[in-house]
Amino acid sequence: MEKYLINPNEKIAKINKDIYGNFSEHLGRCVYEGLYVGEDSKIPNKNGMRCDVVEALKEMGLPVLRWPGGCFADEYHWKDGIGDKSKRKKMINTHWGGVVEDNSFGTNEFFELCEQLGCDAYVNGNVGSGTVQEMSEWVEYMTFDGVSPMAELRKSNGREKPFDLTYFGVGNESWGCGGNMHPEYYADLYRRYNTYCRDYMGNKHIKRIACGPNAKDYNWTKKVMEKVGGQADGISLHYYTLPTGDWGHKGSATEFDKDEYNSTISRAYFMKELVENHLAVMQSVNPHCHTKLIIDEWGTWYDVEPGTNPGFLYQQNTMRDAIVAGLTLNIFNKHADRIMMANIAQTVNVLQSVILTDGEKMVKTPTYYVFKMYKEHQENTLVGSYITTEKIHSKNDNGNFPQLVESASVDENGVIYSTVTNTSSTKSAKIKCQIADTKVESITAEIITGECHEKNDFDCEENVNIKEFTGFRKLKDGFVADIPACSVVKFVINK
């Protein structure tokens, strides 16, 4: 029997809702087809945005959306994507499949989407191939409420009032597809570009995000933090989980054996070490710095589904992905004091999507249901939680990983939410939970579970879903539970 302690008296930090964010790039069928089908489509839409997808994302509690890239951001010229759609420039999306980008989804459409979703906007600017003036004018176009050339341009495109911009990224992966820069050079560019991204929204400061490291490139974090320091509100880490760790042969999304399952989970759990090490570097450079960590690209990355365009990064999603999502979101929750935002890659039809579409059909993936299950953590207070657990062996370099990964939070009414992920594909786990200084009145629980290959598809949309969980017994000050193998469970505890 594993011991689980929740201490509601140990209030650690508010869990920023934006930890539950998504990322949407002009890549494959994410923006086009996935989110936006155009006003003339037969697929039901509002101003071009797919109604079914918007509804599903609202139900999931999507708090913030990052756009337009990714690598695409550093070759995106925002003026190509405004005004009369029939006159917008067409370009080749050289990063992703070499397809024609007709720019019919641009700045106004992105904010229309965010407004329909009721979520915050995170726009990523172009440092790699764009100018300081171009970036400065984009911010002016989006946010200036007064008389100015860019505000007039916005008004001439039918939008009188400014858009509500919450986050602005200054470049993306500047160490790679965003310009192949050295950290010192990027940091200088960050300072320069950021200077001209003005705050036009009165009391609302646009939170600036500096390009952070690729996985364990601690030197990048150190150098950028040394130079950029307090001039950035966040620095963004990118880390993807590849089952094999090999970009040439990443592994299939649906066909994997136990070793590959364990290797995937072990590599996903590596996120904890990455987060803690990068935070330690940031702290060592400047202990009083307000800059927070962002993880604006994370998730599983497999070989594309057979027969699909290799540049579109379309992959299926199984219970294995649900486990990756469950454990990763618990890791983010547990570092809520220093993590401001995270954005899974990507929302629809690309990498670890929450939604897949095929024409007018739509499927919610196992990952979707984890986000939906966890949404009550958003804006709650993270409280202390501790669990004993067995370790599971993985043959890869990252070694063992824990069978149980948890986090707990409390809402403003004192209701406690605990999410527990059982990462084992075969073994259940008995736990005894004690909640400090608490007389438990009632408990309800939900579960997402299944054999690790189970998935939702266009002919079995609800195979994996959130179900009621009854495998627990309430105690005076906690509960005992038997957590099935390969499952994500949420307990809602009323006192």
List of residues contacting ligand AHR (CB under 6 A)? 25, 69-71, 172-173, 297, 345-346, 351
Decide: 297 and 455 in contact? Cβ < 8 Å.
no
Smallest distance, Å, CB 365 to ligand AHR? 16
Looking at the Cβ atoms of 144 and 368, the one nearer to ligand AHR is: 368
Smallest distance, Å, CB 37 to ligand AHR? 22
Annotated catalytic residue within 112, 173, 260, 406: 173
Residues 6+ apart with CB under 8 A from 473: 479, 480, 481
Q: Which residue is nearest to ligand AHR (CB)?
A: 70
Q: Is 297 a catalytic residue?
A: yes
Q: Which residues sit opposite 409 in a β-bridge? A: 382, 417
Looking at the Cβ atoms of 214 and 398, the one nearer to ligand AHR is: 214
Smallest distance, Å, CB 69 to ligand AHR? 5
Decide: 181 and 174 in contact? Cβ < 8 Å.
yes
Give exposure, 459-495, as e/b (b: 16+ Cβ within 10 Å).
eeeeebebeebebbeeeeebbebebbbbbbbbbebeb
Looking at the Cβ atoms of 298 and 479, the one nearer to ligand AHR is: 298
Annotated catalytic residue within 25, 109, 137, 297: 297
If you search the block for the tokens 């057979």, which residue do you land on?
A: 306
3-class DSSP assignment, residue 442: strand
Q: Is 101 a catalytic residue?
A: no
Residues 468-475: contacts with CB within 8 Å, 24+ apart?
Answer: 468/444, 469/445, 470/445, 471/445, 471/447, 472/443, 472/445, 474/440, 474/442, 474/443, 475/432, 475/434, 475/440
What H or E segment, with its residue span, contains residue 252? none
Smallest distance, Å, CB 397 to ligand AHR? 21
Smallest distance, Å, CB 216 to ligand AHR? 15
Q: Angle of helix 319-334 relative to helix 366-374, nearest 10 degrees?
A: 30
Smallest distance, Å, CB 130 to ligand AHR? 16
- d(CA 492, CA 494) in angstroms, rounded, equals 7
Decide: 228 and 190 in contact? Cβ < 8 Å.
yes
Looking at the Cβ atoms of 69 and 212, the one nearer to ligand AHR is: 69
Residues involved in catalysis? 173, 297
